[in-house]
């Protein structure tokens, strides 16, 4: 059974993200709301099927402005999910 992560990003244009994660901790799908549609579509494609640890490793610390980025905020959401497991 999959788990839906709902996260409100901080410090970026994106306003909301929903990340569906499978029992094997692989990302099934991502919906990103607000911000740049092109980047949101790219990020959703890049993470689909990847293990959450791989996404965290790649995205964590990638800064755009305000000390964070859309990719970095995805890693923040995934790290929060791991802590709650």
CATH of the domain at 59: 3.90.1010.10
Predicted structure pTM score: 0.95
Question: In 3D, which of 68, 77, 65, 79 has the Cα closest to residue 31?
Answer: 77
- pLDDT the model gives residue 7: 98
Structural domain span for residue 31: 3-84
Q: How many domains, in total, are found in the chain?
A: 1
Strands (E), 8-82: 16-21, 27-33
Measured CA to CA, the distance from residue 52 to residue 40 in angstroms comes to: 17
The 10s digit of each residue's pLDDT in 17-52 is 999 999 999 999 999 999 999 999 999 999 999 999
CB 44 within 8 A of CB 29: yes
């Amino acid at each position: 059974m999959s788990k839906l992560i709902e996260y409100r990003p901080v410090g970026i244009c994106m306003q909301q993200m929903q990340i569906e994660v499978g029992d094997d901790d692989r990302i099934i799908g991502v919906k990103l709301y607000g911000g740049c549609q092109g980047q949101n579509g790219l990020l959703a494609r890049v993470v689909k099927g990847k293990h959450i640890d791989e996404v965290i490793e790649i995205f964590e610390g990638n800064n755009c402005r305000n000390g964070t980025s859309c990719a970095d905020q995805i890693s923040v959401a995934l790290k929060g999910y791991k802590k709650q497991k």
